[in-house]
C-alpha cells in the first residue's frame, strides 16, 4: 500500500525531466567518503497509530502492572557516528563499506510506589553502551542511466559485529544480534525546469538465523522475519545549495530468542527535513579539484505501532576523490 502511494505521488509531480544528477554512484577508480553525526532522543511511544504514551506507561501496561505502581520517567538517547567509503569498480558497479560507532543511553528515574516491583525497576534501570556497531558491505549495480533518471539496485551483507546485550539490564544493544542479507532499489529523477530531484528507495532485509549466548553461557537460537524500509524524498537544487523533505516508513520485525518473543518489532513513519550545500554544481562546467557536499537534517517519527517517538538532528559531509 505504501509503495502504491509513493508511485502516485511521483506521477502527480508531472514535471519535464532533463538530467539525473546522482553522485551517490561514482566513476571507475574514484572514491567518495561520507561522515554523518546524529543525535536522537525519545521519552514516549506510539502504541497504536497516533495513540501516544510515555515509555514508562507503555512498559507497565505490557507487563500487566498498574499505571500507579511505578513513578518516574524513562528516556532513550543516542549519539551516532557513521562512516561510509564507496569505490567505483567500473561503469556499472560500485562497492561500499559502512561502519557505525554508536553511543546509547537509557536514563531512568523510577520509584516503586506500591512495593513488589523491584524486578521491573531492575529491567529498566539506567543503562548505556558504546562501541562499533554492525558493519555492512554493499555492491551496487547501475541498471539504467539516462538524461531523465538513474535506476540502481544493490545487494548487501550486514555483519553481526556488535553486542546485542538482550539479557543484560545495564547494557543496551549496539547491533541487531544476527547477520543479515539485504537488497535495495534506488530511483532518482531530476527536472531542470524546477531544479527538482525525486529519490525513491526500497530496502528488504533478510535475517540469517543466529545463536546468542547469555551471561550464564547458555546458547539460544535468534530468529527474526523480514524487515523493510521505504522512503520518498523531494528536493530543490538551485545553484550550490539544496533543500528538501520526505517521508520514511520502517517495518522492523520482532526478535525471537529461544522461542520467546521479545516484542521489539515496530512500524513507524517519520518525516525528514534537510538543507545542504557544496560545489558539485561546478562539475557541470568542468573538473573540480575536491568536490564536496555538506548537509544538516532533522527527522521525527510522527506515526507508529509499538514505535518510540524519536527525534533526530544530524549533520553530514561527503568528499569525492
Whether residue 24 contacts residue 186, with contact meaning beta carbons closer than 8 Å, is answered with: yes
Reading the block at residue 306, the C-alpha cell is: 509499538
Helix (H, G, I), strand (E, B) or coil at 121: helix
Reading the block at residue 198, the C-alpha cell is: 525525486
Reading the block at residue 259, the C-alpha cell is: 522461542
In angstroms, rounded to a whole number, what is the distance separating the alpha carbons of residues 279 and 64?
A: 57
Closest CA to 220 of 231, 212, 208, 230: 212
Proportion of the chain above pLDDT 70, given as a percent:
92
Whether residue 263 contacts residue 306, with contact meaning beta carbons closer than 8 Å, is answered with: yes
Which residues make beta-bridge pairs with 314? 38, 297
Which residues make beta-bridge pairs with 198? 189, 234
pLDDT at 265: 93
- Which three-class secondary structure string do you get for 126-138? CEEEEEECCEEEE
Neighbours of 64 (CB within 10 A): 7
In angstroms, rounded to a whole number, what is the distance separating the alpha carbons of residues 269 and 113?
A: 35
Q: Tell if the pTM clears 0.85, that is, is over it.
A: yes
Instruction: Compute the half-sphere exposure of residue 96: CA atoms within 13 Å on the CB side of its CA.
Output: 24
Helix (H, G, I), strand (E, B) or coil at 39: strand
Reading the block at residue 84, the C-alpha cell is: 561510509
In this predicted model, what pLDDT tens digit does every residue of 284-308 receive, in sequence order?
Answer: 788 888 899 999 999 999 999 999 9
In this predicted model, what pLDDT tens digit does every residue of 4-47 receive, in sequence order?
Answer: 444 444 443 433 333 334 468 899 999 999 999 999 999 999 98
pLDDT at 20: 36
Q: What is the mean pLDDT of the chain?
A: 89
Which of 117-131, 152-166, 279-293 is the least confident region? 279-293
Task: Set out the domains of the chain in order of their start, with CATH numbers.
Answer: 2-320 (2.40.160.40)
pLDDT at 23: 64
Amino acid at each position: 500500500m505504501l509503495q502504491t502511494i509513493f508511485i502516485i505521488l511521483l506521477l502527480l509531480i508531472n514535471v519535464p525531466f532533463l538530467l539525473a544528477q546522482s553522485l551517490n554512484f561514482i566513476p571507475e577508480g574514484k572514491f567518495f567518503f561520507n561522515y554523518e553525526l546524529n543525535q536522537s532522543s525519545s521519552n514516549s511511544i506510539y502504541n497504536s497509530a497516533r495513540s501516544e504514551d510515555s515509555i514508562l506507561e507503555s512498559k507497565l501496561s505490557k507487563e500487566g502492572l498498574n499505571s500507579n505502581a511505578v513513578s518516574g520517567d524513562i528516556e532513550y538517547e543516542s549519539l551516532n557516528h557513521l562512516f561510509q567509503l564507496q569505490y567505483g569498480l567500473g561503469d556499472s558497479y560500485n562497492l561500499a563499506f559502512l561502519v557505525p560507532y554508536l553511543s546509547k543511553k537509557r536514563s531512568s528515574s523510577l520509584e516503586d510506589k506500591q512495593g513488589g516491583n523491584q524486578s521491573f525497576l531492575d529491567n529498566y534501570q539506567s543503562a548505556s553502551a558504546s562501541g562499533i556497531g554492525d558493519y555492512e558491505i554493499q555492491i551496487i549495480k547501475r541498471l539504467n542511466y539516462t538524461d531523465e533518471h538513474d535506476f540502481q539496485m544493490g545487494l548487501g551483507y550486514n555483519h553481526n559485529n556488535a553486542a546485542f546485550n538482550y539479557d543484560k539490564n545495564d547494557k543496551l544493544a549496539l547491533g541487531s544480534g544476527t547477520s543479515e542479507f539485504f537488497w535495495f532499489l534506488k530511483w532518482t529523477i531530476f527536472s531542470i525546469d524546477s531544479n527538482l530531484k525525486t529519490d525513491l528507495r526500497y530496502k528488504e532485509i533478510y535475517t540469517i538465523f543466529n545463536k546468542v549466548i547469555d551471561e550464564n553461557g547458555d546458547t539460544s537460537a535468534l530468529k527474526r522475519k523480514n524487515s523493510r524500509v521505504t522512503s520518498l524524498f523531494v528536493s530543490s537544487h538551485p545553484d550550490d545549495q539544496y533543500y528538501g523533505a520526505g517521508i520514511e516508513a520502517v517495518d522492523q520485525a520482532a526478535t525471537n530468542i529461544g522461542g520467546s518473543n521479545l516484542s521489539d518489532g515496530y512500524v513507524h513513519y517519520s518525516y525528514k527535513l534537510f538543507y545542504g550545500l557544496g560545489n558539485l554544481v561546478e562539475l557541470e562546467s568542468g573538473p573540480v579539484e575536491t568536490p564536496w557536499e555538506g548537509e544538516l537534517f532533522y527527522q521525527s517519527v510522527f506515526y507508529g505501532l509499538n514505535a518510540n517517538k524519536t527525534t533526530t538532528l544530524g549533520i553530514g559531509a561527503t568528499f569525492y576523490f
